[in-house]
Every structure is written in C-alpha cells, then in structure tokens.
Amino acid sequence: MNTHEASDARPWDGLILGASLATLDGEGYGAVTDGALGWRDGVITYAGPRDGLPGEPDVLAPTVVEASGWITPGLVDCHTHLVFAGDRAREFEMRLEGASYEDIARAGGGIVSTVRAVREADADELLRQSLPRARALLRDGATTLEIKSGYGLDYDNERKMLQVARRVGEELGITVRTTYLAAHALPPDFADRPDAYIDAVIEWLPRLHADGLVDAVDAFCEGIGFSAAQTRRVFEAARALGLPVKLHADQLSDLGGGGLVAAFGGLSADHVEHTSIDSVRAMAASGAVAVLLPGAFHVLRETRLPPLEGFREHGVPMAVATDCNPGTSPLLSMRQAMQLACTHFRLTPEEALRGATVNAARALGLDDRGRLRAGLRADFVRWDVAHPAELGYWLGGELAASVHVDGRQVR
C-alpha cells in the first residue's frame, strides 16, 4: 500500500485506489475491480471504477492510497449483549457434561448469574471489562454495534448498563445502538411475580428513554422468559414512546414471536429457529428482518434450523450477528459469525456478507450504512483477501488490513 499527500485543499478528504470493491449495491457482491473509494466529512463521495473518477486523484483528495485486496462496507453487529461482568465458562462445561440451557437457568445459573456479577460491578469496572470485547469486534471489521441491557433487571443497574454501552461508543468513536432488554429474565426479587416485574419494566422505560439511553426495546419471549401476552405489554409501552421493537423470538419453541414482531411493525425477530411459516409470512408483509445467531446455535449444539427457505421464498431479509454474551455465544468476531452461518445454516458467503452489512443495518433501523454508495457513511474495511467469499471461509485469522469509521482509520 502506497500513500502520498498534498498539502492544499481538495474536494475530498481521502481516496483509495486499486482495491476491488464489494459495494453490495444491486445484485451479488456489486463487485468493482480496480476500484476507487472517496469520502469527505465522513460520507462516501464516490464508489466505483477508477476510470470513472470525476477528476485526477491528486486534484480530488489530499491523501491518495494505492491498495490491493477488497473493500467492503463496515460490518454491523446488530445483536450483542457485550456489556457484562464475569463469565460463565463453568456453565459451558456443565452443558458439555449433559445439562440443558433450561436446566442451568432453573438452577439459578444462566442469565441470573450474570445479573449478580453486573450488580456487583460499578460502571467503571463494567466498562473496563466490556471494552476489550468491543475492541475485538472493531479490529475484525465491525464498525457499528448494537448493545442490549438485560443483566441489571432493576432500574439502577439497567440504567448503568445502558450508560456503559453509550460510553463504549464514545471511547471507540463508533456507533453504538442501545436496546432496553429489562424483560430478559425474572430477577430473584420478583420470584413468582412475572406480571409485577413487567409492570416495573414498563415503569422504568419512560425514565430511561427521557435520559436518551434507549434506541429500541427488546424482550425474551420464551417459556423460560416471558409470555407473548407479557411481551405485548412491553411492546405497547415502547410504541407509546415511539420506540421501535425487536424480539428474542422462537429460539426454543414457537410462541408466535415472529408474528408478534410483525404485528408491531418491529425491526427484527432474532434467533427464529422455531418460527412458523405463518410468522414468516407476517414478517415478510411487515418488513421485519430475521436475525440469525449461529453462535448460540453452535454453542448450544442446536439441531432445529431456522426456516431459511421460507425466509428466502417470502423475501424476508436475513441478518447475521454475534449474539456476543457470556453464556450461550461468547463470540467476538463478525467474520466467525458469518462463517458459522455459512456452515450451520448453509448461507452463501454473499448472503452472509449482506447479512452482516445491508440487512444488519436494516435490523437496527439504519439506512445510512451497509453499502458502498455515494451519500452513505464512510464506514468500510479493507481486507487482505483475493475474493470476498474468503470472509465466510476462513476460521479465525486476521484479514482486516484497515478499518475506517467516518473515513477515519481506526485500525
């Protein structure tokens, strides 16, 4: 890679030449060979062939880089729980010894064990433990993160988690979308009183929203979580505040979660292994995204595949995310999530890349990123690969040569 700079003003801030572009604009990868990518003030000004540039490179930008490999949009991790304290490696061992996810949860492990660790950590400690996970995702190409609460399960600790999630974005200079997930599990202080706890979840929401801490609202609609009726109450509270909804839907059983998301015009239904074809049709009609979480599928050694052909047939966009969490998906790489989606769910590498960019951005309600197109954010990654299919092929390794957020190189 060669760089040269000019000192006087130019129309653009930067320009990369020579690398191939996977623009994801139109069909397939939207591939452009011998490409050019220019930007100004954090926005893409040109993404196309070098010979289509509207002027000489040195006239267009003060910094011109000659590069090889491929450039893709920055990856978007649209489902994470990366703000937490401690770990649950022992539970991983227990599952390998034969305990089920439900067995561990009912024995006081699972989500509730992480709740104890989060409540014991102050905000600075929670940030200290969470930042390395966010940095790992950024190093491997994730330029936008969604971070959920849901390990506090009381007002003060849910607020603390959301504040720390905002601080992660500030520390790293990236977009972090915060999701309120207080309806994640029933805390011990509300044992056998789930409806009373939902009352509290609904009561906390307007205060947290007024503090600017909530971008979306989520719930865990499952037999070991909350019923469809309880979830509906949370969604109604979100709708009253104008907040979009998402859902941990149909992971372990079919409670109609996909259809519930569709009924509220929600952004996404996530997990969706047990989603029915009726819910698939409802999601297609509403425009909801199906977020595939192959990390949890892999760690839990699940065998029930999401209705992938149904999603394809009915045109439901499929996103891919890490579900980074301490219990069921300790995954710190969007590329690894893409690889697992290809291996377990038989996504093509192109579907996986779209799932980690275009469709993942849609699952967060963001229309300003996910493609390489003039007018969109200059979030992009230059990869040391000969073809973009390698992003869904390699197990591990370091392929990101540089990661850019708003045009700024952050790796």
Annotated binding-site residue numbers for 4-imidazolone-5-propanoate: 88, 151, 184, 251, 328
Residue list for the binding site for Zn(2+) = 79, 81, 248, 323
Residue list for the binding site for Fe(3+) = 79, 81, 248, 323
Rounded distance, CA 241 to CA 234, Å?
11
CB-based contacts of 378: which residues, under 8 Å, 6+ apart? Answer: 39, 42, 43, 44, 404, 406, 407
Span between the terminal Cα atoms of the chain, in Å: 15
Residue list for the binding site = 79, 81, 88, 151, 184, 248, 251, 323, 325, 327-328
Cα torsion 248, 145, 12, 372 to 10°: value is: -40
Matching residue, tokens 């011109």: 64
Rounded distance, CA 203 to CA 186, Å?
16
Residue list for the binding site for N-formimidoyl-L-glutamate = 151, 325, 327
CB-based contacts of 33: which residues, under 8 Å, 6+ apart? Answer: 20, 49
Q: How many CB atoms lie within 10 A of CB 242?
A: 7
Rounded distance, CA 195 to CA 202, Å?
11
- DSSP letter at 251? S
Strands 318-320 and 63-66: unpaired
Rounded distance, CA 380 to CA 265, Å?
30
Distant-in-sequence contacts of 399-404, Cβ < 8 A, 24+ apart: 399/140, 399/335, 400/139, 400/140, 400/141, 401/1, 401/67, 401/69, 403/74, 403/138, 403/139, 403/141, 403/143, 404/74, 404/143, 404/378, 404/379, 404/380
Helices 155-172 and 194-210 cross at an angle (nearest 10°) of 40
- Give, for 129, the enclosing helix (H) or strand (E): helix 123-139
- DSSP letter at 171? H
Rounded distance, CA 305 to CA 273, Å?
5
